[in-house]
Structure 1
């Protein structure tokens, strides 16, 4: 599969500085086409949505194009795509709405996992506690970083109302067996909410094929602007009644979108999806097929770099890699004996290498791994990452260790 990393890098003005960006899991760099889409929408003759004037129609078109693009990207009906300020905000709203609409109460149970980002834990914990429902934890295996199917199964019951699970850990990259977890949850009569924020940048998503009831992501993790996206089964969206303003529409998905949508950001999200669809040029005619081809090429590129990084870092004395799952994204977390993660971060920054250190809001996981609030140094490999940058990273870390 063809993947031209030089051509990809040429599309990112930020990379011209020479900085090696391993900070993609916290937010990727932005290609020119996305920035231009945002800017051109902001400077166009545009108004609130409507069909009378050209300005109104432009806003209407931007929204429909963004829903279509995200529908292709997420493998879902465009009419089930909801836009919001962030994944966290959307999940908070959904958790409250679901608990109220489905009348959760004492005796009901919600399952969360210690592998997840807190954005897919705390909203469900808060919603459950507010109505007296019980929260049950599916625990990660600290030694392997795996979330076994059995860990989820053992906390399911006929009282389970929802299982919240990540598609991939934003801290250590672990990709749990989502199809099996979704099937087990459905067998127990529970709904499933998948946090695909980290996974969306690295693998082809298909909500309908997976059978997830809800799935959320953040375009700024895959070259787009800062906003959140939620998609779901249409029948579920139809039955949920969120808080909204009295005059605002009751139509789905608009009933879940509070206030005027950020048209410029939606245009940027469409451009980001089209950018990804063009990463591996081929003969596919549909955007969904082009996305599939691009992600296949992307995964091959990123996985080769992951192996190179793991081999290099593992050879450094006193360095521990905490990303060990069999199936994972190209995301590494490491600590160095006797050196605070923040000191590694600062040392690498002086050499033009951005590899931040934190728990990255995977609060429960960082503690389960014994890393506490300090977490570790995270290395995120992206489509624009090169082998030379991997080598610079390894050399920079080894230099710090040798100087201890």
Structure 2
């Protein structure tokens, strides 16, 4: 497999050409949203400027929009290995999760149990907790180990019981990067016939995924995390989707996947989604789009892993850094959360933005349960640096120099 040409890839991102005070911006905020690929921009502009319309008309622009949604579903199906009929679009992952949770109401009773995790973003916690509360059902949290930043799965049989009806788990933490052994969780859930919802928002930009192989019932992600615009994606197994009652207008379509898509969709964003997937496809090789997408993702993984190893080794060498990183041998995405001794996280991120035009985020990142458990809120949460395929070794080296300069400056105050 040939390696990724990062400089050639960077040419596909208009935002990378932006400067301030003659210095380029450095985007280490990929976990909060990547920059948009030119292919996505062009697709959005192309749809908008060539004539927009709503669906189901006899005229050309409406037919074009119908075809756009079909093409969008096919592109997602090739990216995630599902069927186009299992793909639904929405405002964002959170809105889709709440919509699906509400529609699952008839399947949950007060005698059932809902299982979520302490590691997850609250977007994959609160929709299901709200559902349980509405039904009077108990909620169980799979705990996060405060030393390894992984889920404690040794007592999975006690956490997921015969009464469990729904399990929601994130594939990868948007804070620590921990990739959870969801195959083990899904296997246990299926033993008790529980539905499984997987939050793959943070995973899709870094890992090649296979919905059929995972065996979950619902998978959620967002295009703005993988080089596209703000549009949410839900993949729902047809066997569940067909019988899923949804809140919708009376004359709206009853068939899948349209029945979950209430109101007019963001057609230009769906066009951009297709463009973003095309960007990934162009990085790979193969006879089919699915093969090219897998190959492209493998190249992204290889490049990001090289930079990830460099950053992890550096952060572990800095005495003032506490790195929240799972042990060696645990799969992880190139996302690093750390704190600095006696320094507020916002002070550090603001310093990097001012001195280096470097976009480094701070806060709890909506993984608020873990943030509370690990006690990081008094210091402003974590400092988070996350990689994308457009990041370079030179940018990583500049971060290393910057952190050392910041700590030196702070110690002299």
Q: Output the TM-score relative to the length of structure 1.
A: 0.97
What is the CA distance between 1:151 and its match in structure 2? 4.7
Q: Tell me the equivalent position of 1:235.
A: 239
Q: Is 1:263 the counterpart of 2:264 in the alignment?
A: no
Residue 208 of structure 2, aligned match among 197, 204, 211: 204
Unaligned stretches of 5+ residues in structure 1 = none
User: Unaligned stretches of 5+ in structure 2?
Assistant: none
SS for the counterpart of 1:200 is coil
What is the deviation of 1:51? Answer: 5.5
Cα distance in 2 for residues equivalent to 1:12 and 1:153:
47
Listed one character per residue, the Cα deviations across residues 131-154 of structure 1 (whole Å, up to 9, x for unaligned) are 101101100101101114325433
Secondary structure at the aligned position of 2:42 is classed as helix
Report whether the alignment pairs 1:336 with 2:340.
Answer: yes
Choose from 119, 122, 135 the match for 2:126: 122
Residue 372 of structure 1, CA deviation: 2.4
* Cα drift, residue 55 of structure 1: 1.1
1:91 and 1:382 map into 2 onto residues whose CA distance is: 26
Name the CA distance, whole Å, in 1 between partners of 2:254 and 2:227: 32
Match of 2:221 among 206, 210, 217: 217
Secondary structure at 1:146 match in 2: coil
SS at match of 2:204: helix
Instruction: Tell me the distance in 1 between the aligned counterparts of 2:83 and 2:344.
Output: 46
Is 1:154 aligned with 2:158?
A: yes
Q: Deviations over 1:68-101 (max 9, x none)?
A: 001111111111101000100000011111122x
Give the 4+ runs in structure 1 shifted more than 3 A: none
Equivalent residue, structure 2, for 1:323: 325
Write the distance in 2 (CA, Å) between the matches of 1:182 and 1:278. Answer: 33
- 3-state SS, counterpart of residue 150 of structure 1: coil
Which residue in 2 is equivalent to 1:400? 406
Shift of 1:25: 0.5
- Cα offsets for 1:207-235 (capped at 9, x unmatched): 11110111000000000110100011101
**Contact 2:79 2:277 (8 Å CA) reproduced:** yes
Deviation, structure 1 residue 161 = 0.2
Answering whether residue 347 of structure 2 is matched by residue 358 of structure 1, we say no
2:406 and 2:319 map into 1 onto residues whose CA distance is 11
Deviations 1:337-377 (A, max 9, x none): 01111111011112111111111111111112221262211
SS in 2 for 1:149: coil
Q: Equivalents in 2 of 1:81, 1:294: separation in Å?
A: 22
Q: Does 1:387 align with 2:408?
A: no
1:334 alignment partner, SS class: strand
Q: Does 1:13 align with 2:17?
A: no
User: Paired residue for 1:372?
Assistant: 377
Please report the TM-score for the alignment, with normalisation by the length of structure 2. Answer: 0.95
Determine the C-alpha separation between the residues in 2 that align with 1:64 and 1:51.
Answer: 15
What do residues 1-30 of structure 1 show as CA deviations (whole Å, max 9, x unaligned)? 321011111111111132110001101001
Any conservation in 2 of the 1:140–1:151 contact (CA below 8 Å)?
no
Aligned residue for 2:89? Answer: 83
Aligned alpha-carbon RMSD (Å): 1.2
Check the 8 A contact 1:138/1:151 in 2, yes or no: no
CA contact (8 A) 2:39 2:278 kept: no
Q: In 1, Cα distance between the equivalents of 2:375 and 2:167?
A: 25
1:75 and 1:208 in contact (8 A); partners too: yes
SS in 1 for 2:242: helix
Would you say the 8 A contact 2:120–2:170 is kept in 1? yes
